[in-house]
Structures are given as structure tokens and as C-alpha cells.
């Protein structure tokens, strides 16, 4: 095993543990901190895959903005930090069974696949991933249409949010 594979296995295990802790903890603040840990684990995996731009954006956007905003929103809006009522959905056993079934199906599907043991090819030293990503986003042959559709949907959502927030008197 190479060092990259060992780091990947450690980061993947830590990410899975943190993600499992997000959905099983009863405290909302602890769940938010576990979410930050899971998002950091994803950033480490991006870094291992030499996707440095995505790793930095993962930390800045998701950990730095969304998760911290979530924590502050929860801390500022809750009057009583003790949770009231039942913490689990009544159908949690069905959800757990369905999750185990999907995991078993994926395990049996991927156990004979040869791609699990392959390693990624090394990038040349002059490869610029950010330039390649930018070129792919604006190239008519690549992702310009989904990129523009996403931008139109975000503008429509912003206009809808402004309309809903506007106080009609």
C-alpha cells in the first residue's frame, strides 16, 4: 500500500464515522460539529485526488460558511438548548434496514470490480487543474449548458426568495 492509499483509508473512515455521528447524535450542536468533521474529511479526499481547488472550496464554502452559519443560527434562535420530545422518527428501523440493504447491494456489486485496486495516473507537473476546470465550464463542448441552467435557477430562486420575503401590506 502506498502512503496515499493509507491516508485515503484513514480519511474515508473518519468521514464515514463523522457522517454516521451526524445522523445518530441527539444534540443539534454536536451534529453540526460532526458535520464539519465530515466536510473536512471530504476536503482531505479532494486533496489526495490532487483536486486542490475543490479541496479549498470545500473548506471555504462548506466548512467556513455553511456549517458555521448553521451553528450560529441554531445557537441564536433556540431559546432552550435542551431538546424536547422524541428524537427518533417512528420509522427509524425501516430506514436502518433500507440503509443496510443498499450498503449490502453496493458491496456485492463492487466486490468483484477491478477498479477498486487501481491507482490514479499521476498528473504532469505543468497541469493546471483550475484552468482546465474554468475551460470546461465555459466551453460549448463541455459544461456550459448545465452551468448556465444552474445560474438561471439560482437567479429564479433569489427572485422567489425576495418576493416571499417582501411584506405585502
Q: Which CATH architecture has domain 1-80?
A: Up-down Bundle (1.20)
Q: Each residue of 137-169: pLDDT tens digit?
A: 788 888 888 888 988 998 898 888 788 777 665
Of 6-20, 50-64, 77-91, 100-114, give the lowest mean pLDDT range.
77-91
Query: Rounded CA gap, 3 and 8, in Å?
Result: 8
**pTM (predicted TM-score):** 0.62
Q: Are 11 and 39 in contact (CB under 8 A)?
A: no
Instruction: Return the pLDDT at 40.
Output: 94
Q: Each residue of 91-141: pLDDT tens digit?
A: 878 988 999 999 999 999 888 887 767 777 777 778 787 788 788 878 888
pLDDT at 14 > cutoff 90: yes
Of 10-24, 76-90, 137-151, give the lowest mean pLDDT range.
76-90
Helix 3-24 to helix 28-48 angle, to the nearest 10 degrees?
Answer: 160
Query: Rounded CA gap, 93 and 107, in Å?
Result: 21
Confidence of residue 50 (pLDDT cuts 50, 70, 90): confident
**Percent helix, percent strand, percent coil in the chain, to nearest 5:** 75, 0, 25
Classify the C-alpha dihedral 101-37-154-167 as positive or negative: positive
Output phi, psi for 143, to 5 deg. Answer: -115, 25
24-59 b/e with 16+ CB inside 10 Å = b?
eeeeeeebbbbbbbbbbbbbbbbbbeebeebbeebb
Instruction: Return the pLDDT at 80.
Output: 56
Could you tell me what percent of the chain has a pLDDT over 70?
91
Amino acid at each position: 500500500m502506498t502512503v496515499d492509499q493509507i491516508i485515503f483509508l484513514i480519511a474515508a473512515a473518519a468521514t464515514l464515522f463523522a457522517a454516521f455521528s451526524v445522523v445518530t447524535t441527539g444534540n443539534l450542536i454536536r451534529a453540526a460539529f460532526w458535520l464539519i468533521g465530515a466536510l473536512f474529511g471530504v476536503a482531505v479526499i479532494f486533496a489526495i485526488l490532487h483536486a486542490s481547488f475543490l479541496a479549498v472550496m470545500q473548506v471555504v464554502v462548506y466548512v467556513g460558511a455553511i456549517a458555521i452559519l448553521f451553528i450560529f443560527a441554531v445557537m441564536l434562535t433556540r431559546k432552550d438548548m435542551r431538546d424536547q420530545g422524541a428524537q427518533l422518527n417512528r420509522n427509524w428501523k425501516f430506514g436502518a434496514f433500507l440503509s443496510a440493504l443498499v450498503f449490502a447491494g453496493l458491496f456485492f456489486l463492487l466486490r468483484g470490480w477491478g477498479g477498486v485496486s487501481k491507482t490514479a495516473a499521476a498528473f504532469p507537473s505543468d497541469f493546471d487543474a483550475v484552468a482546465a476546470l474554468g475551460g470546461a465550464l465555459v466551453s460549448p463542448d463541455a459544461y456550459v449548458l448545465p452551468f448556465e441552467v444552474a445560474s438561471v435557477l439560482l437567479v429564479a430562486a433569489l427572485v422567489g426568495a425576495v418576493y416571499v420575503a417582501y411584506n405585502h401590506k
